[in-house]
Structure 1
Amino acid sequence: MNVSHNPLSNLKLGSGIAPIPHMHRQGVGISLGTDSAASNNTLDIFAEMRQAAMLHKGNLQSAEVISSQEALRMATVNGAKALGFLDSGLIQAGYAADFIMIDTRSAHLQPLTIDPATIVYAAGKCDVSDVYVNGRPLMTNKELLTIDEERVLYDANRARKQLVESSN
């Protein structure tokens, strides 16, 4: 059994706090989700990792509840397993080449220590420089390669304007 933990969406909507540490102890696979732009706004898996790691520490008043390593696992290998991608979520031979690269030159990631705590507590979506899916680059040096970003933004804003105008 797998559960998608969406802590920011649940907090925003006032849905409560899922008993994730209890579920984990019972053997439930815990992955992270964002629950759509309609109820989360950011779709930021880095924010979800950070929130998942800290929310339960505060709620249960224990710094040992969900480690940064476990939060990172929820966002990677557990997410892949929950979606049925058994050859994804890890960087190892035989697995799909799905990965991101993080630009570690920013001040908030210094002094440089590449470990789960740095990724979960300090890194963010703005630090992602490259995205690969099945070995194919989708973003390089923060430039999208497969979609016209300007066109998507233009179309989205035009559609919003049309909706607002039609509702008046």
Structure 2
Amino acid sequence: MLLRPISLLDTAAIDLVAERMRATLIEVEGEDAGGAMYTMDWLLDRVRWHLDGRDAEVIVAEDATGRILGHTIYRIESDAGSLSPAPFGLISTTYVVPEARRLGVAQRLLTHAEAWFRERRVQLACTWTSETNSPLIGLYARNGYVEAERGPNQLTQTMMVRLAKPLTEPLPVRPLR
């Protein structure tokens, strides 16, 4: 499996990622709620937004034939309204085609995103997902993420959870002499 970033010039990959973002919403929120959340134009613009010079990436996972099995989108954010507006890594979406699930694709995408954050010295990674998205919650839990926040999704009236994980190891404590 090959992981590669896409660019604004890769319109076929942009289209596919947007379609799969919609598929994720429908899978997690149901046909009515998930299908009505965002227009396809909005989803396409959202993918392009991550490719337009921001500190962000859209990565696809391809099999040996070049077929895209999955993707993840991540970026560096900061919470300007908090007392500690330190940058953090936000993984905004992950999708793997059903026939490639449980084969390590999502794990590779998550590991890649975390490495990208670490290279940029980001100390915290997080994601938001519906509390009903148990496969994604399980993946993140196996990778050391814990629930850090919970709140309603205004568009669907479902509960969302923020999963977070520190990316830096604490320094060893040395006894005073």
TM-score by length of 2: 0.28
Q: Which has the higher strand share?
A: 2
Q: Which of structures 1 and 2 has the bigger CA Rg?
A: 1
Q: Which has the higher helix share?
A: 1
TM-score by length of 1: 0.29
